[in-house]
Structure 1
Amino acid sequence: MTDARVTPDPAIAKTSKAGQIGWADVDLLRHPNGPRDRQLLLGDAVTILGSRDDHIYVQAEKDGYVGYVPSDSLTEPTKVTHQITAAATHGYADASIKSHDLICLSFGGKVTALSDDQEFIETAQGFIPKQALSELPTKPQDPITTARLFLNTPYLWGGNTRAGIDCSGLIQTAMLSADIACPGDSDQQERLGHSVAHQDYQPGDLLFWKGHVALITSKNTMIHANAHHMRVVEEAIVPALTRIADTTGPVTAHKRL
């Protein structure tokens, strides 16, 4: 059985042209004006496969997901030079934090430098503080450190940004920052790595439930975006297991990458 999340619809896939996300972030939709499956970020590379109802059918380079984005969210590909490595940052109208903010960008977004000075990189999205950026290619980051950048981020189904993220979006973001290929949904992520004995917790392990995933941060704690707290939290593993079992069921897998 093919996976519709990553297998282009042959009835739609008519072209194959490179594109790039030009908005700060955009929902990747199951069909035009339909439900969000994931989100794409500024500078994300996509392959344009077709169009329908003022939407473009694309396949994301980072995870192979297919779906629809608004036509005006795409731009011609440019060579990106920097990545947002702060949890979030602003693009300003001028090279001053007192100038008008033009856009809010989330961790993982990629921009093209037009010029730079001691404090800012000038981009098409405005002047971005250098503290929020890393020059590409970035060095692999500790996935736990990346996940903690999103602490207290509101829970958002299908979200991939500091404004809102879900459990699998958090894991994907953390793993991609570590240069580990990672799909966008927890059932796909559960196929990663190898199984280890339950309760043999090590930082970087993943715990799975039906429709949920968490990242182990120590032998006693884990971090996850969840609908119980409606935000990203780092909490003790044992009481969380009991709570989640009451609503979702038992752990289905414990994986080490």
Structure 2
Amino acid sequence: MSNHQIIQPVVDLLGQPDGPRERQLIWGEQVTVEDENNGWAQIIATKDGYAGYVPSAALGPAVQVTHWVSALATHVYTQPDFKSADLRSLSFGSQVQVLSQTDRFTETPEGFIPSSHLSPLETQLVDPVAVAELFLGTPYLWGGNSRLGIDCSGLVQASLLACGLPCPGDSGPQERALGNYASPNGSGYLRGDLLFWKGHVAWVRDSETLIHANAYRMAVALEPLQPAIDRILDQGDGPVTAHKRLF
């Protein structure tokens, strides 16, 4: 086994070589490589223990990352100049190694990133719902974990990791691992609560509104809370299975 990191902006994590996408990994994320064969690496993601396969070309040697992308997305430029050629786009949560920094631009081994788009690795945000709100309008993508496309559990995970809170990658394990069941005695809905269905999860934004990545809108969207519960039931996806309180 060996330690590596992702060196592509986004890469699909597959259940088997050439198989369907299970989740995604983004630039700088740390992984353990268990095996490599025919251009495929069998890996385990450090952030959540998710296992699967990625192309070997998506991996590079692990380096000491120092900062993370705290803007929804950013560009990496060839020079410390926004008019210079851009090399790639990085999504929220991507991790980089900083070599030097000025007020305007930060130098990394891959190029220059606007300094205002980066935060030191130890920086933790405090409101996961506010993180989810950054992603409003992001296209829905089954198994997605980036600004280019994200699903319900990917949104919850990105929100919690940015706040320094561990989180599994899929909604089923999230339901089992996160928070405590809210009181059944009508304690109402509070910002930061999570509602779970079989195969789906949503943040409570306030007592009357959900924010979630959903296939109904094909985007991260706000939706009235009780009408959303009714809609999901009416479309055949079942009732709420858990109302969890994290804070």
- Give the TM-score category using the shorter length: over 0.9
- Structure 2 Cα separation of the partners of residues 82 and 230 of structure 1: 31
In the TM superposition, 1:93-132 aligns within 5 A as 93-132=78-117
Q: CA deviation at 1:41?
A: 1.2
Taking only the aligned residue pairs, the percentage that are identical comes to 52
Please list the CA deviations of residues 180-221 of structure 1 after superposition, one character each: whole Å capped at 9, or x if unmatched: 111011111111211114562011110011110000111111
Please list the CA deviations of residues 142-174 of structure 1 after superposition, one character each: whole Å capped at 9, or x if unmatched: 101110110000000000000000000000111
Q: CA deviation at 1:131?
A: 1.1
Q: CA deviation at 1:76?
A: 0.7
- Which residue of structure 2 aligns with residue 246 of structure 1? 234
Secondary structure of the equivalent of 1:18? Answer: strand
Confirm or deny that 1:193 pairs with 2:179: yes
Q: Is the 8 A contact 1:225 1:231 kept in 2?
A: yes
TM-score calculated relative to the size of structure 2: 0.95
Query: Unaligned 5+ residue runs, structure 2?
Result: none
Q: CA deviation at 1:52?
A: 2.5
Q: CA deviation at 1:29?
A: 0.8
- Structure 1 Cα separation of the partners of residues 217 and 145 of structure 2: 18
Please list the CA deviations of residues 100-123 of structure 1 after superposition, one character each: whole Å capped at 9, or x if unmatched: 111000000000112222200111
Secondary structure of the equivalent of 1:217? Answer: strand
Q: 2:216 aligns with which of 220, 228, 232?
A: 228
- Which residue of structure 1 aligns with residue 158 of structure 2? 173
Confirm or deny that 1:18 pairs with 2:8: no
Confirm or deny that 1:154 pairs with 2:139: yes
Number of aligned residue pairs: give it.
Answer: 242
Moved beyond 4 Å, runs of 4+? none
- Which residue of structure 2 aligns with residue 145 of structure 1? 130
Query: Unaligned 5+ residue runs, structure 1?
Result: 1-15
Q: CA deviation at 1:124?
A: 2.4
In the TM superposition, 1:11-90 aligns within 5 A as 16-90=1-75
TM-score calculated relative to the size of structure 1: 0.91
Q: CA deviation at 1:72?
A: 1.1
Q: CA deviation at 1:33?
A: 1.3
Q: Is the 8 A contact 1:54 1:70 kept in 2?
A: yes
